[in-house]
Each structure stands twice: as C-alpha cells, then as structure tokens.
C-alpha cells in the first residue's frame, strides 16, 4: 500500500477555503506524497559505485530537483466511465484524439487540449468489445495508466470518478473526497490502513467488508489502488478525487442507488476536478 503524506496548508485551503469557494464537507482530505525519481533511485542504489557514477547521479538528481521546481505542464486524468468523463471533456474543451497513441485494437480513448497553462489529457478506457459496457475495474485501470504514462510522460495523475461511501465514516451522497491512502480490499492478504479501498466488485462480500473495515476506509471504488500501484512503479505522483454515489452500508441496493445518483454526483465531481486543476495551474509539484 502507498503511504501518502498529509497535505500542506495551501491544498487544504483550496479544498475548504475560508470564503467557502469550494463548498464541500471537510471529510478525509489529503494529498499524495510526491516521490521523486531521485528518491526512487536512492532506495535501489545498493551496488558499489565509482566516483564517476556518483558524479553522474548527482547531476541527474540536480536535474530532477530542477524539474520539480518547474511549473506543472502536463496532467493525466484517468476516468473509468464515459458519463463521468464527458462533462470534464466539455468543461476543458478537449478534443478526441484522431491519431491514437495506444496499441491498435485497444478501446482506450484520449481527449486532449490546453486548459489555461496546462496540457490536459483525459483517458477513458472505453467500452468492453464483448459486453458493450464501460471497462471499469483494476485490470483496465492498471493497463491504461501504464500505457498513458509511457506515451505522455505526465507530471501528475488525477484519478477521478464516483465511489461508494460509508455512513459509519460520515459519508453522504454527493460528498467529494481527496483520498489520503489507498489499498485493495479484495485481495485475501493482510492490507495496511487506507482511506480509499479498491476492488473489482460493485457489491461487498463479507471478506471484502472485513478488509474495508480494517482499512478504516471511508470510500470504496474499482480503480484507485490500481492507478496508485502503476503510478508508484513509474514515480508519477497521483491525486484521487472521488464523489460518493451510493452508501455502501446504507439500506438501499448499491446498483440501484448508484444509477439513481450518477448524473447529479458526476456534476459535483466535474466541479471538484476543475477546482483541483485550477489550483495546480502554474504551480510546481513541491507547491502542492
């Protein structure tokens, strides 16, 4: 599981500003820890090095530190469902890619354009060719995140989407969360604590429920931890923006409540993601 650093004051003020610019409840709000490639390299540098290699590494680290102080220029937004993605495509006035970057045959769709000073890329995994439904879940999320990072080399990833919330943790329909930690709940192995819990099922079996309770999760989704896993492998900092469509431990059937609230909650997700993107415009990673 990824350990994520508590947010700096500036990010908290953006989410819950004194002037109520962003009218969302102050629920589990945190920003991810930004792990630089130099930090990654430091963890794996266990071989004896010559003075020349040390000099080369110092120069590389200096270059990466300089990059971290430069304004964010390219962001990658991973969204699992078309209904979740299209409001943001329209908001940022993006165009669908007519010359796909991805391997031939995959259903993945890229929308791209310039919003303010940012190159914005929204990636939707597309429709399952056999079933004709949105390609949700951890497998599609992992694959499309990996391919997108390789093709676009983004400065930052935003995984945005809807999620189930837990009444026991104070979640209500329409609440928007920035997840502080992520974890898988449907792997039958011990999982450390996480506020966002991810699995491949919309419903929740007893084993999943036990893991989610152990994770102290306030929300559950079907992509977040998978995106986090790939982002961590490739040293790209992620942010997770999740809007609650259904109350997992409430009285209504999950699928029914999800469909009932999808359109209205997606509008709140659209607003929240726009606020996050506006906030990061012109900033360096170190300022988030």
Residue found under tokens 């919330």: 165
Contact 14, 30 (CB under 8 A): no
Closest CA to 236 of 182, 179, 285, 287: 285
Please provide residue 89's backbone torsions phi and psi, each rounded to the nearest 5 degrees: -60, -45
CA distance 33 to 236: 10
Q: How far apart are CA 173 and CA 167, in angstroms?
A: 10
| CA atoms within 13 A of residue 126's CA, in its CB half-sphere | 15
Catalytic member of 186, 246, 257, 270: 246
Tell me the pairing of strands 118-124 and 74-78.
parallel
Report how far residue 279's alpha carbon sits from residue 15's, in angstroms, rounded to the nearest whole number. Answer: 9
Kind and range of the H or E element at 244? strand 238-247
Distance CA 194, CA 2 (A): 9
Q: Which of 68, 84, 175, 208 is catalytic?
A: 84
* Active-site residue flag, 84: yes
* Cβ neighbours of residue 186 closer than 8 Å, sequence gap 6 or more: 199, 200, 201, 207, 208, 211
Residue 203 appears among annotated catalytic residues: no
CA distance 103 to 139: 16
Active site residues: 84, 246
């Amino acid at each position: 599981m990824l350990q994520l650093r508590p947010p700096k004051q500036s990010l908290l003020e953006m989410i819950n500003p004194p002037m109520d610019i962003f009218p969302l409840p102050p629920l589990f709000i945190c920003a991810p820890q930004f792990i630089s490639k130099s930090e990654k390299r430091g963890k794996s540098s266990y071989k004896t090095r010559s003075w020349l290699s040390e000099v080369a590494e110092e120069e590389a680290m200096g270059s990466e530190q300089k990059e971290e102080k430069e304004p964010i220029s390219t962001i990658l937004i991973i969204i699992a469902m078309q209904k979740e993605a299209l409001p943001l495509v329209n908001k940022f006035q993006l165009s669908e890619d007519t010359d796909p970057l991805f391997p031939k045959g995959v259903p993945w769709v890229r929308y791209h354009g310039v919003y303010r000073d940012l190159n914005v890329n929204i990636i939707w995994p597309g429709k399952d060719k056999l079933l004709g439904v949105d390609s949700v879940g951890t497998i599609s999320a992992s694959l499309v995140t990996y391919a997108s990072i390789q093709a676009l080399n983004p400065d930052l990833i935003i995984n945005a989407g809807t999620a189930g919330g837990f009444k026991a943790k104070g979640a209500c329909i329409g609440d928007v969360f920035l997840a502080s930690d992520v974890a898988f709940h449907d792997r039958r192995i011990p999982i450390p604590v996480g506020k966002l819990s991810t699995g491949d099922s919309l419903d929740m079996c007893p084993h999943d429920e036990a893991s989610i309770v152990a994770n102290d999760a306030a929300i559950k989704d079907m992509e977040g931890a998978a995106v986090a896993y790939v982002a961590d492998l490739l040293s790209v900092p992620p942010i997770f923006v999740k809007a609650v469509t259904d109350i997992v431990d409430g009285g209504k059937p999950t699928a029914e409540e999800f469909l009932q609230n999808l359109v209205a909650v997606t509008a709140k997700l659209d607003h929240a993601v726009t606020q996050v993107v506006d906030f990061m415009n012109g900033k360096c990673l170190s300022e988030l």
